[in-house]
């Protein structure tokens, strides 16, 4: 592989001159520049990322800021990352994943002031997310995957939770279910103002009310044990339940286990819909889960494309877009077996 020294030797200039041509740090005559560029082409020389960054005043590194816990990334979260990484790579950028959450504001300020990143995509957004303020104050180009409560002046892509929940509830109601319980994320997550948890809560209440049905929501810890506890709480509140809608991938397998432990069959006794999930997760269960499949890869790609437009044209129009999840019917939903249970709550 050719080096800067090889280019300098062939062009009969100093190594520093080659560096100046690459970085633009000093003016170089057109004749000398042409000699250096011709030598680079002849040697198939590829300048390293740092040199390209100096020349363009960019690092060509984008950040994906996504808080994580000890569980790491599941298949559904990974789809967001791979979609974003592919879009960044296609545009000649590197994508760096950084687990910066709402409690890491000092770390975020340091990261922003070091100017290591040309721009940032922010995930796991809360309705009042201080990370947005920190990045705006540091003048870091920013796109959200998710939405704050006030989206004025912000670019974002997000799931259309209202349409997603309405379609999931409509699927279950269309099968004949009347006692449907929604298993959400934990009470602590709701208390932090986590956007998806709050928006799906409100959408569930609205969808059930529109069908003339009583909404019952249970908060569940993000674990299999949390899922088992949530289902026990659901039966305590709604003993006649015939369907569970869940947006908690970690808890969903605890829900299924608790149903089995109670001698209940899916979908004959209780139907289950997993919401905002990936096909890989849905197909791990037996039976495979009917799911509202997350558009994670598309959201990751669109977020990066919007961010790159901001880098190329600062001050341009903001990008604001919602995508619904897609209903994929598998083996975990069916009509309620007992019509008497349906009629009890009509």
CB-based contact 127:151 (threshold 8 Å): no
Average pLDDT over residues 57-86: 83
Overall residue count recorded for the chain in this entry:
346
Q: Name the more confident of 78 and 259.
A: 259
H-helix segments, 121-242: 130-137, 161-175, 187-191, 195-210, 224-237
Over the stretch 1-42, which tens digit does the pLDDT of each residue have? 788 889 999 999 998 888 888 766 678 898 998 999 899 889
Contacts (Cβ under 8 Å, ≥6 apart) of 2:
40, 43, 44, 45
Neighbours of 1 (CB within 10 A): 7
- Mean local confidence (pLDDT), 209-237: 96
Q: What is the mean pLDDT of residues 223-241?
A: 96
pLDDT of res. 103: 74
Q: Quick: pLDDT tens for 273-331.
A: 999 999 999 999 999 999 999 999 999 999 999 999 998 876 678 999 999 999 999 99
Mean pLDDT of the chain: 89
pLDDT of residue 176: 97
Token readout for 80 is 């967001």
The answer to whether 47 and 18 have CB atoms below 8 angstroms apart is: no
Report d(CA 119, CA 112) in Å as an integer: 9
Quote the DSSP letter at residue 194: B
pLDDT per residue over 129-175, tens digit each?
999 999 999 999 999 999 999 999 999 999 999 999 999 999 999 99
The CA R_g of the chain, rounded to the nearest whole Å, is 26
pLDDT of residue 345: 43
pLDDT exceeds cutoff 70 at 239: yes
Kindly list the distances between the CA atom of residue 293 and the CA atoms of 70, 76, 94, 301, in Å, as whole numbers in the listed order.
24, 9, 28, 17
Residue ranges with strand state E in 53-188: 61-65, 94-98, 119-122, 142-145, 156-159, 180-184
User: Domains in the chain and their CATH numbers?
Assistant: 4-47 (1.10.260.40), 61-159+296-324 (3.40.50.2300), 161-293+329-342 (3.40.50.2300)
In angstroms, the CA 81 to CA 95 distance is 9
**Torsion sign, CA atoms 310, 129, 84, 114:** positive
- Rounded Cα gap, residues 80 and 300, in angstroms: 5
Average pLDDT over every residue of 55-68: 78
Q: For position 105, what pLDDT does the model report?
A: 87
Tell me how far apart the alpha carbons of residues 47 and 28 are, in angstroms, rounded to a whole number.
18
pLDDT of residue 266 exceeding 60: yes
Res 109: pLDDT: 87
Of 289, 286, 322, 316, give the one whose Cα is nearest residue 303: 322
SS3 content of the chain, % helix, strand, coil (to 5): 45, 15, 35
**Position with higher pLDDT, 124 vs 102:** 124
pLDDT of residue 158: 97
Contacts of 174 by beta carbon, 8 Å cutoff, 6+ apart: none
- pLDDT attached to residue 52: 53
Per the CB < 8 A criterion, the answer to whether 340 and 122 are in contact is no
């Amino acid at each position: 592989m050719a080096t800067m020294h090889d280019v300098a030797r062939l062009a009969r200039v100093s190594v520093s001159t080659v560096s100046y041509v690459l970085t633009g740090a000093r003016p170089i005559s057109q004749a000398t520049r042409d000699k250096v560029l011709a030598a680079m082409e002849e040697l198939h020389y590829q300048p390293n990322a740092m040199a390209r960054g100096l020349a363009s005043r960019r690092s060509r590194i984008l950040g994906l800021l996504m808080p994580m816990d000890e569980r790491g990334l599941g298949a559904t979260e990974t789809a967001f990352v791979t979609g974003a990484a592919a879009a960044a790579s296609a545009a000649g950028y590197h994508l760096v994943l950084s687990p910066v959450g709402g409690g890491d504001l000092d770390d975020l300020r340091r990261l922003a002031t070091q100017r290591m990143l040309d721009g940032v995509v922010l995930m796991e957004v809360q309705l009042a997310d201080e990370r947005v303020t920190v990045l705006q104050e540091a003048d870091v180009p920013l796109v959200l995957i998710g939405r704050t409560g006030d989206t004025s002046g912000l670019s974002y892509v997000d799931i259309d939770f209202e349409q997603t929940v309405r379609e999931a509830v409509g699927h279950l109601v269309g099968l004949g279910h009347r006692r449907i319980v929604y298993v959400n994320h934990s009470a602590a997550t709701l208390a932090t103002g986590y956007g998806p948890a709050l928006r799906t809560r409100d959408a569930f209440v609205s969808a059930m009310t529109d069908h003339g049905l009583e909404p019952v929501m249970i908060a569940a810890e993000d674990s299999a044990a949390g899922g088992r506890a949530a289902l026990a709480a659901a039966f305590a509140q709604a003993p006649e339940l015939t369907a569970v809608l869940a947006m908690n991938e970690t808890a969903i397998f605890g829900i299924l286990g608790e149903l089995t432990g109670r001698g209940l069959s899916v979908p004959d006794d209780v139907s289950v819909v997993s919401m905002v999930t990936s096909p890989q997760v849905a197909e791990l269960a037996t039976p495979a889960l009917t799911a509202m499949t997350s558009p994670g890869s598309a959201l990751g790609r669109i977020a990066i494309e919007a961010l790159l437009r901001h880098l190329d044209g600062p001050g341009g129009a903001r990008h604001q877009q919602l995508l619904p999840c897609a209903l994929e019917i598998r083996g975990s939903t069916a009509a309620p077996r007992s019509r008497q249970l349906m009629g009890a709550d009509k």
